[in-house]
Chain A
Amino acid sequence: MKNSVRLNSAATMLVRILFAAVAAFPIVFMLVSSLKPDTQIFGDMSSVAAFLPVGNVSFDNYAAVFDRVPAARFLVNSIGISAVTVVLGIFINSLCAFALSRMEVRGKRVVFTVILATLIVPFQTLALPLVWWVNQLPYFELNGFSLEVSKGWLDTYQVQIIPFIANAFSIYLYHQYFESIPKELDEAARIDGAGWFRIYRQVVMPLAGPATATVAILTFLPAWNSYLWPLMVVQSEELRPVMIGIQYFFQLNVSWGEVMAYASLITVPVVVLFVAFQRSFINSIASSGVKG
C-alpha cells in the first residue's frame, strides 16, 4: 500500500515535469538562442545544446538590436503607457466599485448591470469603429497661452492609454472583493467623522491588496502586450510601444539571433515581474472570484 502510493506520487511528479518541460522549452530556446550567433543556433538545433548556453556565447545580438531598432525608445514608451494605464485603472475602477458596493447610491443597481453588460462585447468587434471614433474626438493642446483644439487622437500617447483605463472586469473584481469586507468598518469610520473618500482611501483600499494585485496584473499584461491597437492608431516611430518593434524583423534574411534577442528583451521584464509577484499573482487570481 505505502509503496504503491509512493510510486503513484513519483509518476505524478514525472507528469508534472513533462508538462513543465513542454511549457518552458520554447522560452528557454529563445533565451539561449539570443546569446548565440546564427550559425551556432542552426548548428545546435539537432542536439540538447539548443537549450544550453554553450559555445560562442555573447551579448552581441543585444547590441545589434539597439542599432537596428529604436529599442530603448520603445521600452520607455511601453513602460510609461503600461504604468499610467495600471495606476489610473486601479484608482478609477476601485473608486467606482467602492461606490457601487458600499454606498447607498440611487440607481447603482442599474449602473452596475450596464457596466457588466459591456463584458460581452469582445474588443475585436470594437476595435475598428473605435479607430474611426477616436479619429473624430477633439484634441486639446496648450500652445503657449492659447488652447488649441484640433481633431483626431490618432498618433498620440493618450490614444494608447485613455480607452483602456476603465474596465468592467476590474470593476467586477473589486466589487466582489469589497463585498467581502465588513461594512461595520465604514460605519465606525463615519462615526469618527471620516468622509466617503477617506473611508475609500484609508479603510477599504488598504484591505484590498489581493484584488489590487489581480487588477494590476490583468491591466498590465494587455497594456504591455498590445499589438493590434498601436498598429492601427500610431504611425510615429517615437510614440510606438515594444510589440510594434517586432515588425522591424518581418523581412527576408533577418538575423534570427537578433530576433531572439529582441523577443527576450521585451519578454524578460514581464517574466521578472511575474516571478517576483508570483505568489500573489496566481493565488489572487485563483481566489478572487474569477468563478463565474
Chain B
Amino acid sequence: MRVELIEKIEGEAKLEYKFKENKIDFVKIVFPHYRGIEEILRNRPVWDALAINPRVCGICGHAHLFATVRAIENLYQNAGIDVNITEKAKLIREITLFCEHIQNHLKWIYLVIVPIMKSIAKINIDQNSFLEIQKAIVNINRVLAIFSGQWPHSSYMVPGGVVCDPTNLDIMQARNFLKNALYIVEKRVFENMAFEEITVSELEKSRTDSGKIFRFLKENSLLSIGKANDRYLIFGEHSFTKRVKIIKTVSYPVKIKYVKEKSQKSGFAKNVTYKNNYYETGPLARMMLLKPNLIKQLHRVYKDGISTRIFARVLEILFLLKKVEAHLNSIELSQKSYNHIKTEIKEGFGESAVEAARGSLIHKIWIEKNRIKKYEIITPTQWNLSNGTLQNPATAQKAMIGLKNSKLAELVFRTFDVCSVCTTH
C-alpha cells in the first residue's frame, strides 16, 4: 500500500492506494481532523446556529449560513408559521452565494488545478495569470461584501430575509466591481462569454487559460481519465437548480429523506449515500442539468471524465457571473429586506439544502424546549469522497481506480475540489 498526503484542500487528506499489475486497484480516502460542530450546536438557542455554522468553512461560509437560515425557516414552516421572503431578499441571498461560488472556482483553477498540472507536464500558465485573476477575485468579494458586510464569515442572512438594505449607490458599486471581474475573466479564462454557445472546437482553439488547460489534457491523453459512476445529485433549490438526480442524462425527482449518513472506521468524515448509491454533486451535476453545448459535447465523448468535470466548473464561472449581473439588474429596492417571523415554537424539525460551490449542502435541525436537540450537516465533499467497497466504489474512488500512478490520481482527486474542513466539521 502506498500512502500519499494531500494538502491545499483547506486541511489534509490521506490517500491509501492499493496497486495491482501497476494500476490503482483501490483507494481509501481518510480525513484526519475533527472539530465537533454538530456537538457544539446541541442545547444552544436555535438562532445561535447562525453565528456558529458559517464557521464550519472558510470558503463556503455563506452556503453554510444560507443552509442554516433555510433550515430554521423550514422549521417554522413545519410548525405552521408563515415565512414570507421578499423577491429582493431572495435575489440578494443568491447574489452573495453565487459570488462565493465564482471566487472559489477561480481560486481552484489557479491555486489547485494549474499547479498540479504543472507537476505532471509543462503548461504555459504563469504566476501573472494568477495575480490578474486575484484582482477578479478581489472584485467579486467586494460585490459580496457590499451586501453581506464581509467575506468570509458573515451573518447577514437571517430567517425572514436579509439585514442589509442596499441603496441605488450600492447596486451601482456592485455592478462596477462585477464589470471589472467580468473583464478579467473574459480576458484570461474565456474569450467568448456566451455561456450557451461555447463549443469544444472553440475551447480547443482558445488562446485563454481554458484553451491551454484543454490542450494540456489532450496532449497528455488525459481527456477521458477520471470517469466515475455517471450519476449526479442536486438538492439545493435556486433560480437555476431543482431537486433531481441525473443518471447518465435523464433527471428524476429526489427527496432528502432517502439521504443516509454513516460513520466510518478510519477518519472522522461520514459516508453519504442516496438510496444506498453513491452520487457526484457539484458543478458537473449542475451543468448536467443546464446542459450547455460544451458540457453536452464533452459528456458525449468523455462521459464524466476529468475534462467534463473541470470545464463544468470553469463554465459555471461564466454562467454565474451573468446570473449575478441579471440579479443585480432585477432587484426592486423598494421591497422589504426582512419580514418578521413569529418565532415562538418549542419543538420541531427543519431541513434545508443549498448548492455550495462544491455541491449540495444539507442541514437538518431538531429542536426541543426551544433549544437545538440535534443538528446534522452533510457537505458536498462527503458526497464526492465517500468510501465504498471494491465492488461498489464511491464517486472519487471509482474515478481513481485503474490509473497508472498516484500523480494522475491526485489530479483526478483534486478535480472534485475537495474541502477537508467542511467534510470533517
Q: Do A and B come from one complex?
A: no
Measuring CB to CB, which residues of chain A are less than 8 angstroms from any residue of chain B?
Answer: none
Measuring CB to CB, which residues of chain B are less than 8 angstroms from any residue of chain A?
Answer: none
